[in-house]
Every structure is written in C-alpha cells, then in structure tokens.
Amino acid sequence: MHASPAIDCAAAPAACEPAPAGGEDLFEAAVLFTDMRGSSDLVTRTTPREFFRLLNASLSAQAECVRGFEGDVVKYTGDGLMAVFRGMGRSSLALRCALALARTCEHEHRLPFGIGVADGPVLAGFVGPDAPGERRQYDVVGAAVHLAARLCAMAAAGEVMTTTSTHDTAQLPAASLRAMGPVAVPGFPEAIECVAFERGAATASL
C-alpha cells in the first residue's frame, strides 16, 4: 500500500503554505516519513473495515505526535505519513518526534512501522492543472524528501534512520544509537553517512 493522494489544496498546512506571489515556497526543512511494516500480510488477515479502523487509529495518533513537536503532516502515504518541520531547531524537533513515534511503535503490535528523517532544502506548492473544476494537490518535493522516504523504507519496525549530518545538527543525546557508516541509498549517486536509533531508544531531551 504505497499509493496515496497528496493533501488537498484546501487543507494545506499553515506552516508550509506556499507564498502567495509565486505559488511555491522554497525553504529548509527536516522531513519525516513513517511506513507500516507487514501491511500486505495484515490486510489479507483482516476485514477491510477492521484494517481501516486499525490504520486510521495509528495514523491519527502519529499525526497528533507530529503536531506536538511543531511539525505539519503534508500527506498520508497509504499506510504511513510524511511530515515537515521548519525553522530553528527543526532537526531536533523532527528527531525527537521520530523517537516518540518509535516508542509508540512498541505498543503497535499489529501495525509496526519504520521511520526516516532527513534535512535539506524543499519546495512546497500545488501540483495538478490550474483549471476550473480540476483537483489540485499540495505537496513538498526535494532531495531531502526522497532521502527521508528511502531511509524510512530501509528502517526496521520501531527503528529511526537518519543522516549523520541531521543527527549532528540536532545535537540530541540518545541511547541505542548505531553508526551505520556510508550507506548506499537507492537513487543517490554517492553513499550517505547514516545512523540509526534502534528500537527502544531513549533520549534525555524528550
């Protein structure tokens, strides 16, 4: 379950709202992705109504956590979400949120998920035809978005993967931090230094 509509233009997060003049907004952001593990197996063992109930409860709780760390949910990605954090301290906020989400994952026995975080310039705006009656969608794009999504896909259930530079910028002390060294990330020409907060990681800054 990876196909997902972007958030509707009428519901664009206020913190990421495009600049009125040009319609797009370029800014630095920490990007966070979550993605459920084993969703195909679970959906075949439950009724559509039960699966929807479990998924909606999980995503709603994740969105509440994101808002609690001053982030904005850009879109739901089928069985996960994408969020952005901007401004001073964005890397710290995103990683603190990711670790809080990872702790909730310990209780999500039926809906475990991995988490990826990356930082960099992104562009926010509306995609789709600008014509009467046509649906437009709000989205955020950039290399940091793709990197966070790739790291999320590589993370184990309850694990947070991020780049070493994002972690160093956040200056977040944590237990169970594992240096992964240069990691070959699909779609990126060079290996990227990464670290992972293993399942059950705790931080003094939360």
Q: Is residue 13 domain-resident? A: no
Q: Is residue 143 domain-resident? A: yes
Q: Is residue 164 domain-resident? A: yes
At 92-129, the pLDDT tens digits run 999 999 999 998 876 655 688 999 999 999 999 998 88
Residue 171 reports pLDDT greater than 90: no
Q: Is residue 3 domain-resident? A: no
CA distance 137 to 147: 21
- Average pLDDT across the chain, whole number: 85
**Amino acid at position 70, single letter:** E
Residue 5 reports pLDDT greater than 70: no
Q: Is residue 203 domain-resident? A: no
CA distance 29 to 147: 13
Q: Is residue 188 domain-resident? A: yes
Q: Is residue 9 domain-resident? A: no
What is the pLDDT, as a whole number, of residue 24?
85
Residue indicated by tokens 């259930």: 157
Q: What is the pTM of this model?
A: 0.85
The residue range of the domain holding 186 is 19-197
- The structural domain count of the chain equals 1
DSSP E strands in 56-136: the ranges are 72-76, 80-86, 113-127
> Of residues 79 and 204, which shows the higher confidence score?
79
What is the pLDDT, as a whole number, of residue 8?
39
At 52-63, the pLDDT tens digits run 999 999 999 999
Q: Is residue 113 domain-resident? A: yes
CA distance 54 to 117: 24
Please count the other Cβ atoms lying within 10 Å of the Cβ belonging to residue 78: 16
Q: What is the CATH number of the domain that holds 32?
A: 3.30.70.1230
Residue 206 reports pLDDT greater than 90: no
Rg (C-alpha) for the chain, rounded Å, is 17
At 68-101, the pLDDT tens digits run 999 999 999 989 999 999 999 999 999 999 999 9
Where residue 4 falls among pLDDT bands split at 50, 70, 90?
very low
